[in-house]
């Protein structure tokens, strides 16, 4: 009873501060994932396999969009570390040499061995799926906001981290913007000098904030929701041999990562069918909790981790202050920036503090925040004639999102109100962590 009351109090307080209204999930995460197994991939989710989107709300009467401030993650990629592929392959190869694989295990190893050559010298690279995602995002930008992107001589400032997959994602989007408007003045920039806000080093932030308090919880839930017994029987024919030679839980989690990321490729190799709906849900819960602890507003880490993106938010505010003409600022980076930024901005449920991690997915779901190609678009509106308030709306993965302010015209908010709210929030954090 006390735990339930604490959860209610934490969530209630967070929702009051966060916005006048936050969306309620209409279905459980378990049911959503059962209906669309790709969602279980968490940060490996293909952007184009998301839940259906709704039409955008028309601009308020007498207003027009004139500026977009954006941060987007690169598109789908190969896994980053060779061991993510080779460790499950080697486990199955050892079992094959010992005669311990079932027919399903043999077939699984054949699939992995057939795919592995495509990964050589490709680790972390953007895939064709990822390139396609950004062409689609760029094209929809021009369709959704022609007042900005088809405006004569619009200035587009596009900047990327120094990572190749981010640079190529930027190029793909800018190709669509240029195709839609040959008069657009597009400036691309890639530099180490931009890293302090485009991709602030995570390790330094962790050390500075005293992070580490969520490590124990993450380990507990990793064990709690990993149940490899059935999968082991499907792939191996000797449980005694497995017990002596295989770290079953780790093997299951690594195999799941490879299976989940297959959606990043144009391939007919499929591995998610190895897992039951319950196993897929549990593997996703592990990752949902892990990402929340590492980058979200988890109470166990003092809700500090979203402030890893305080330099990015400051850049967003400072850049918006300089805009006087039709323009767009596009920034390209990583999910470890998009997720905490969405939490720092308190978009929808992203900024919610949840004490009971067993119930986290009732209120906070990572696949709604950071699929491959995820992005935040802040669209600014001004009166067509005369003076008036500057309005802004937020799109999280092209869906209109709630923001932490009162409004009588959702999804549009007065920018000056939000601007001051965020500045006060940043100032309070800086004062408490000098």
Please write the tens of the pLDDT for every residue from 148-165: 999 998 999 999 999 999
CA gap 28, 47 in Å, rounded? 20
DSSP codes joined into one string, 401-422: E--SS--SSTT-EEHHHHHHHH
* HEC assignment per residue over 299-316: HHHCCCHHHHHHHHHHHH
Residue 406 exposure: Cα atoms within 13 Å on the Cβ side:
1
Orientation of helix 335-345 relative to helix 310-322, angle to 10°:
70
| pLDDT tens sequence across 40-93 | 999 999 999 986 678 999 999 999 999 999 999 999 999 999 999 999 999 999
CA gap 120, 141 in Å, rounded? 34
Task: Please tell me whether the overall predicted TM-score, pTM, comes out greater than 0.85 for this model.
Answer: yes
| pLDDT tens sequence across 266-313 | 999 999 999 999 999 999 999 999 999 999 999 998 899 999 999 999
Contact 148, 177 (CB under 8 A): no
How many CB atoms lie under 10 A from the CB of residue 208?
12
Query: Number of helices (H) and strands (E), helices first, in the chain?
Result: 17, 8
Quick one: which of 195, 193, 424, 197 has its CA closest to 311? 197
User: With bands split at pLDDT 50, 70 and 90, how would you rate the model's confidence at 98?
Assistant: very high
CA gap 312, 161 in Å, rounded? 13
Quick one: which of 155, 202, 164 has its CA closest to 306? 202
Backbone phi and psi for residue 146, each to the nearest 5 degrees, phi listed first: -65, -25
Quick one: which of 297, 294, 290, 334 has its CA closest to 205? 294
CA angle 376, 162, 84 (to 5 degrees): 85
Q: Is residue 387 scored above 50 in pLDDT?
A: yes
How many CB atoms lie under 10 A from the CB of residue 213?
15
Contact 375, 397 (CB under 8 A): yes
For residue 57, give Cα distances in angstroms to 70, 400, 412.
Answer: 19, 8, 9
Span of 20-34, 126-140, 201-215 with lowest mean pLDDT: 201-215
């Amino acid at each position: 009873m006390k735990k339930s009351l604490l959860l209610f109090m934490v969530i209630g307080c967070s929702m009051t501060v966060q916005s006048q209204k936050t969306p309620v999930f209409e279905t459980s995460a378990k049911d959503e994932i059962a209906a669309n197994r790709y969602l279980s991939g968490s940060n490996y989710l293909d952007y184009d396999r998301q839940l259906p989107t709704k039409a955008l709300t028309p601009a308020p009467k007498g207003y027009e969009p004139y500026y977009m401030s954006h941060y987007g993650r690169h598109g789908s990629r190969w896994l980053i570390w060779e061991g993510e592929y080779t460790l499950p392959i080697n486990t199955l190869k050892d079992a094959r040499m010992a005669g311990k694989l079932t027919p399903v295990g043999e077939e699984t190893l054949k699939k992995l061995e057939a795919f592995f050559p495509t990964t050589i010298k490709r680790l972390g690279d953007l895939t064709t799926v990822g390139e396609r995602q950004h062409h689609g995002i760029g094209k929809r930008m021009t369709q959704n906001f022609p007042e900005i992107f088809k405006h004569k001589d619009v200035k587009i400032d596009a900047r990327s981290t120094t990572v190749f997959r981010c640079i190529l994602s930027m190029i793909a989007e800018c190709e669509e913007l240029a195709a839609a408007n040959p008069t657009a003045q597009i400036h691309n920039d890639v530099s180490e000098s931009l890293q302090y806000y485009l991709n602030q080093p995570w390790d330094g932030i962790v050390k500075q904030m005293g992070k580490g308090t969520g490590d124990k919880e993450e380990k507990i839930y990793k064990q709690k929701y990993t149940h490899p017994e059935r999968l082991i029987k499907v792939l191996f024919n000797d449980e005694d041999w497995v017990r002596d030679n295989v770290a079953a839980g780790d093997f299951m989690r690594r195999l799941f990562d490879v299976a989940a990321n297959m959606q990043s490729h144009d391939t007919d190799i499929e591995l998610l069918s190895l897992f039951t709906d319950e196993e897929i849900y549990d593997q996703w819960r592990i990752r949902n909790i892990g990402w929340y602890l590492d980058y979200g507003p988890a109470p166990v880490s003092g809700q500090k981790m979203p402030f890893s993106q305080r330099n990015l938010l400051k850049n967003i505010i400072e850049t918006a202050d300089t805009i006087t003409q039709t323009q767009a600022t596009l920034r390209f980076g990583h999910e470890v920036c998009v997720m905490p930024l969405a939490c720092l901005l308190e978009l929808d449920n992203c900024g919610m503090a949840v004490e009971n991690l067993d119930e986290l997915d009732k209120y906070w779901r990572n696949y709604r925040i950071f699929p491959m190609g995820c992005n935040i678009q802040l669209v600014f509106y001004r009166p067509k004639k005369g003076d008036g308030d500057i309005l802004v709306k937020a799109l999280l993965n092209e869906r209109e999102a709630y923001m932490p302010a009162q409004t009588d015209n959702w999804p549009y908010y007065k920018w000056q109100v939000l601007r001051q709210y965020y500045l006060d929030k940043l100032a309070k954090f800086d004062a408490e962590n000098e």
